[in-house]
Structure 1
Amino acid sequence: MLSTTCTPMHLLARRLCQTPDNYVVRQVLYRLGFADQLWRSKNFGRTGPFRFDISNLIEREIEASRQEDLDFTCMILVLGKTGVGTSATSNSIFGEVKSKTDAFTPGTKRVQEIVGTVNGMWVRVIDTPGLLVSSADQSLNGKILASIKRVIKKIPPDIVLYIDRLDTLSICNGDVHLLCTIRDAFRPAVWFNAILVLTHAASALFDGLHGIPISYETYVSQCFQMVQKAIRQAVGDMRLVNHVSLVENHPSYKTNRAGQRVLSNGQTWKNDLLLLCFASKNLAEANSFLK
């Protein structure tokens, strides 16, 4: 099993300029090792403790790095309210304009599949029209979600990105109702396989409660908790915890020496977001061995 899960995870991390010491990589490898132990015990009886053969991985890594593209594909479904940057995030993932965007009107009019390579890895993004929170627009939301279901019927997405804005985030009853509509369309499991993406992460932020200035990290934490609480209400599981990723899509925002877009703290957000997506796919494949 490790030949089809652990090794690709290392290769993917390397393509995304991440090391085995990365927290996400280490957590994935730990869980893959545990799954491998269960699988071997189930099929071959008792086995010894899992040991990670790093030398063998390095040899495979060097061999695979000689290939231009890896034998790997990840399908990502992008969902969000209109105006939050769903299409802009899709474009940023590929590093080029694949989907039309507009600052004042919805840029994406229909569900569309965008396919391309990112650092030698195949990525398929299902870009979708923005959803609306008004109760008067629920019929339109239903039509959009129905068209999404038709597109992903044959090939389910590996991960779902639910996108909202960090700089203007507010949660109302309409938001919770929208999350419930998404739940009903795709079943509650959709939220157990979702990453919360907050765009406009480099924008000037508002003060906290009562006008008292707060740190950037505190503001992000408060926003994440608001959305997470709404998702938990929609799912009916107060234990659910989703990963969160900060995104800045503005084309003129700063980059590092490698030309990668970075946040104010120097984080290369695209690589970190893709690592979360690829890690989720690897873990899902590992779990399938245990069924």
Structure 2
Amino acid sequence: MKLALVGDIGGTNARFALWRDEKLESVRVLATADFAGPEQAIGHYLAGLGLAVGSLGAVCLAVAGPVSGEHFRFTNNHWRLSRSVFCRTLKVDELLLINDFSAMALGMTRLREHEKLQICPGVADPDSPAVVIGPGTGLGVGTLLPLGEGRWKALPGEGGHVDLPLGNLREATLWQQLHDQLGHVSAENVLSGNGLLQLYRAVCAVDGHAPRLASPAEVSAAALAGDPLAEDVLDLFCGWLGRVAGNNVLTLGGRGGVYIVGGVVPRFAAFFQKSSFARNFASKGCMSGYFEGIPVWLVTAEYPGLEGAGVALQQTAR
């Protein structure tokens, strides 16, 4: 019997695993920069396990960007994919492509209690949509809909590219600085790894500081070490994430809760819990009361996108 493979491919890393008996096996993380395309990366993955091309029956790849048609161009790396060429090259019977945040949303159905931290208390409405949002290489946004009988639907979208919302004069001043540099200012321009550095430089420009930090990691590390400027930047980042997440809850009726995912926020989880996220999340004027009882969790699971790709394969098989 042929094997099933799942993949979660972002801008920087591609994660692969075998999917057997509804569980992940042999997870490997490869740098996308090291391979010409997904076929080469998966071939390398299989070779590392002593498996030949042709061992795979079904493959589900979670990919960043809108999915449709024969061809797919990855949003944040140089890879491209043709469905027919992929299946022919790897001798695969079935290829399922899904949006990466659709996979991330489906992955929330497999979380264990120790894989999430509560940011805002509440009880999720099991019949309502849940919002899944996460800064990483970009900003991903997904929606999880319960269908009953243990089935779920994940709605794909490009919510990371909505306009950056403004809630006070300070944010408006920073937005103007960002607009002068970028033109259109999307949520992703601030709420991503590179966005954190972009925000730091904007704060320095507005407040008259010479920028001395050169990477997102340096900004977050300085904030955690007590540097006042970096703390201000990181809190602005968290607060803006709260505004965007809250907007999604209002748009979707997301009383099923909010899951904060991605590789950025878990690096400063304790700071995030005390940040302006929760205040800005529910700061919606006459609709602020709507947010009472809506839970928010920070997801710390290692491979939720891979888990969600496995759930997608299962549901397709059914």
Give the TM-score taking structure 2 as reference length.
0.29
Give the TM-score taking structure 1 as reference length.
0.31
